[in-house]
A and B are shown apart, each in its own frame.
Chain A
Amino acid sequence: GAVVSQHPSWVICKSGTSVKIECRSLDFQATTMFWYRQFPKQSLMLMATSNEGSKATYEQGVEKDKFLINHASLTLSTLTVTSAHPEDSSFYICSAARLAGDGELFFGEGSRLTVL
């Protein structure tokens, strides 16, 4: 149990286009999902906290108009990278906390974005 699925697992796009990444909790409900970004040889940096039915909370330095987060249901959160640029190329990972759980995070497989 406690599976988090992320899609797509990798994507290549042209500069200026937008890319949507989906994060689904397959067998549990998650009121809170977290979006992380990881550059090569660096740790996971929290981008935003996504709460079902409300606006996401962004970390300092993360542009909310560039990284649009929607958490429309208890099992789905989406991250849209708008007007992507090469510097947005990174490994994006979502994680979900189980409703009424013990705080453990379950991670998706990650989505590798390459912007040409």
Chain B
Amino acid sequence: QKEVEQNSGPLSVPEGAIASLNCTYSDRGSQSFFWYRQYSGKSPELIMFIYSNGDKEDGRFTAQLNKASQYVSLLIRDSQPSDSATYLCAVQYSSASKIIFGSGTRLSIRP
């Protein structure tokens, strides 16, 4: 079983709509959860991190964490063509430990 699982996509969403990206993880003791965006040929860039159950909002992005279900998601409101990228979910067991990435979900925003 993979430690961090994501639907590979591609996920196609019309411009202006809400894009919903999902991720599940296997280690119940995981404490920190990250969403990275990666454009083709580039390094990942951090979008959001979340530590506590519930929602965390930052601009058009909302991360949601449910530790009981071992589930973390990312919502992108008012999707823009520039949001088209691969979104990587990442999980960390503790603040000093390695971060494990999911396989990524490819998001395409169609005009």
B4 to chain A, nearest CB (A): 9
Q: Known: A107-B43, A108-B43. Is A42-B95 also a contact (CB below 8 A)?
A: no
* Nearest chain A residue, comparing its CB with the CB of B44: A107
Q: How many residues of B contact A (CB 8 A)?
A: 21
Q: Does A93 reach chain B (CB closer than 8 Å)?
A: yes
B88 touching A43, Cβ below 8 Å: yes
Whether B95 and A103, one on each chain, are in contact in the complex, defined by CB atoms closer than 8 angstroms, is yes
A93: nearest residue on chain B (CB-CB)? B43
Question: Is A103 a contact of B96 with CB atoms below 8 Å?
Answer: yes
- Rounded to whole angstroms, the CA-CA distance of A93 and B36 in the bound complex is 14
Across the two chains, which residue of chain B brings its CB closest to A94? Answer: B43
A32-52: contact bitstring with B at CB < 8 Å (1 yes, 0 no)? 101010000011111001000
List B contacts of A105 (CB < 8 A): 34, 46, 99
Binding site for A on B (CB under 8 A): 32, 34, 41-46, 49, 88, 92, 94-96, 98-104
Chain A residues packing against B (C-beta within 8 Å): 32, 34, 36, 42-46, 49, 91, 93, 95, 97, 101-105, 107-110, 112
